[in-house]
């Protein structure tokens, strides 16, 4: 009996680990909904889609974004910086984590040459034409 209980516990642990690893972060909404929910854009940074695709290629599953004092920092899993727009040292801001699959879905919805990383009052959004990617996970406390 103990043997079956132990086996069941291992299976449940494995299943919960798989669900955690398969977690997706981010949701695509309309620009109007983002304006209503999160208010006006306080700061932004343009990135060409071609440069952004090169950044995406460096990641397996997730990217983390920080827009602070007009400078953009993007990290991949393991906190490795894959893009930095400025030379200043940024002081421990909050990164926003988005799933690569959701970012790719956002990019499939348009034809524009640029995406816009936007800072709103309490959130960071990725804007592409009239679509906004939001509802990412904050890092810290939950970093990948």
- pLDDT digit string (tens) for 76-118? 998 899 999 877 776 678 899 999 999 999 999 999 999 999 9
Tell if the pTM clears 0.85, that is, is over it: no
Beta-carbon contacts of residue 137 (< 8 Å; ≥ 6 apart)? 25, 96, 97
Q: What is the pLDDT of residue 109?
A: 94
Beta-carbon contacts of residue 17 (< 8 Å; ≥ 6 apart)? none
What are the structural domains, with CATH classification, of the chain? 24-139 (3.70.10.10)
Q: How many CB atoms lie within 10 A of CB 47?
A: 17
Q: How far apart are CA 67 and CA 118, in angstroms?
A: 8
> Residue 92, CB half-sphere, CA atoms under 13 Å: how many?
2
- pLDDT digit string (tens) for 12-51? 334 444 444 558 999 999 999 999 999 999 999 999 999 9
């Amino acid at each position: 009996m103990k043997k079956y209980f132990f086996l069941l516990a291992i299976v449940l642990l494995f299943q919960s680990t798989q669900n955690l690893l398969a977690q997706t972060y981010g949701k695509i909404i309309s620009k109007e909904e983002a304006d209503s929910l999160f208010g006006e854009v306080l700061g932004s940074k343009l990135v060409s889609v071609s440069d952004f695709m090169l950044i995406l290629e460096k990641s397996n599953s997730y990217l983390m974004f920080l827009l602070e004092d007009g400078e953009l920092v993007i990290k991949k899993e393991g906190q490795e910086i894959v893009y930095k727009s400025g030379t200043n040292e940024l002081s421990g801001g909050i990164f926003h984590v988005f799933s690569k699959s959701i970012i790719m879905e956002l990019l499939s919805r348009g034809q524009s040459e640029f995406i816009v990383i936007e800072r709103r009052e309490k959130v960071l959004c990725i804007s592409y034409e009239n679509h906004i990617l939001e509802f990412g996970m904050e890092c810290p406390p939950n970093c990948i």
